Amino acid sequence: MLGCIADAELYRTMYSNLEAWRGVNAASRLSLSMLRLRGARHTHYRRLISLPLSKPAVAAMSPDMASVVQRHVQAWPRGEATDVLPLTEYLMQDLSIKLLFGDDHDRALPIAHKIT
């Protein structure tokens, strides 16, 4: 198995327990989404995301989300024509880092840059 992992600690974690971690074809995984899954696979992934996206979980995150959004929107230009696509992409990247990666920008930024 060929591994390409940028974080040394993550590399040690993954390769210290090969029973728990298995390689996948990234291209085939990226081509799948919840909208395209059916049957048992859909049920499996729906269970994985249902708890973090439940009303209580989202309500608990809402103050952090509001803080990030407010900070971004206050910095957006006013009174001029502006391309909002890069602004919203950066907002989504920052939200994902804050809420999914514990605000660890150094480790999460390479992953967050993939959000478009």
Amino acid at 75: A
With a pLDDT cut of 90, the percent of the chain lying above it is 12
Residue 3 lies in a domain: no
> Is residue 91 included in any domain, yes or no?
yes
- What's the sign of the alpha-carbon dihedral 32, 36, 40, 43? positive
The reply to whether 2 falls in a domain is no
Residue 71 has pLDDT above 90, yes or no: yes
What's the structural domain count of the chain?
Answer: 1
> What is the average pLDDT value for the chain, to the nearest integer?
78
Residue 49 lies in a domain: yes
Q: Is 90 exceeded by the pLDDT of residue 69?
A: yes
DSSP 8-state secondary structure symbol assigned to residue 20: T
Per residue in 2-55, pLDDT (tens digit) is 445 556 776 677 677 766 666 655 555 555 566 677 888 888 888 877 887 888
| 1 within domain boundaries | no
